[in-house]
């Protein structure tokens, strides 16, 4: 289902590492009438216009909290759908968060890239 949206301006997204990116601001209206302001880095990224997904029975579609930078169920060859028996509970807190996508083997880079202020924080803030 397409979500109704209208462009409301431009802005700058500054992440926790103080890196800034120009964004377009939109107001999206969900089918139940609730509206949200969203930021889009691009409107022609590979994840902006996807095929329709058909989620198999007993599976869930998971979408990350950062549309333009999330590897989630939209990336079928990396994440894909999550089987119901692999769900263990409701997300309540962030466990680990990094600034950049680092290869796991570059352990020496981790301390400078961990977002310590986001560790063990509620997802409801």
Supply the pLDDT for residue 85.
Answer: 95
Residue 109 to residue 75: CA distance in whole angstroms: 26
- Measured over the CA atoms of residue 82, residue 84, residue 88 and residue 90, the dihedral's sign is positive
Look at residue 74 in the predicted model and tell me its pLDDT. Answer: 85
For position 82, what pLDDT does the model report? 93
pLDDT of residue 17: 64
Q: Which residues of the chain have pLDDT under 50?
A: none
pLDDT of residue 67: 66
Give me the pLDDT at residue 58, please.
97
- Percent helix, strand, coil in the chain (nearest 5)? 10, 30, 60
Question: Cα–Cα distance between 50 and 55 in angstroms, integer?
Answer: 14
Number of Cβ within 10 Å of residue 98's Cβ equals: 15
From residue 94, alpha-carbon distances to 11, 65, 122 in Å are 27, 12, 6
Which run of H or E residues covers position 112?
A: helix 110-113
Cα 12 to Cα 18: distance, rounded to the nearest angstrom: 11
């Amino acid at each position: 289902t397409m979500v109704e949206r209208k462009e409301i301006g431009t802005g700058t997204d500054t992440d926790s590492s103080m890196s800034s990116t120009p964004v377009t601001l939109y107001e999206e209206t969900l089918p139940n009438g609730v509206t949200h302001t969203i930021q889009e880095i691009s409107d022609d990224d590979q994840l902006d216009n996807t095929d329709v997904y058909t989620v198999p029975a007993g599976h869930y579609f998971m979408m990350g909290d950062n549309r333009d930078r999330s590897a989630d169920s939209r990336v079928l060859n990396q994440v894909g759908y999550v089987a119901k028996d692999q769900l263990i509970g409701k997300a309540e807190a962030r466990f680990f968060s990094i600034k950049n996508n680092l290869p796991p083997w570059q352990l020496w880079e981790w301390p400078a890239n961990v977002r310590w202020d986001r560790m063990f924080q509620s997802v409801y803030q």
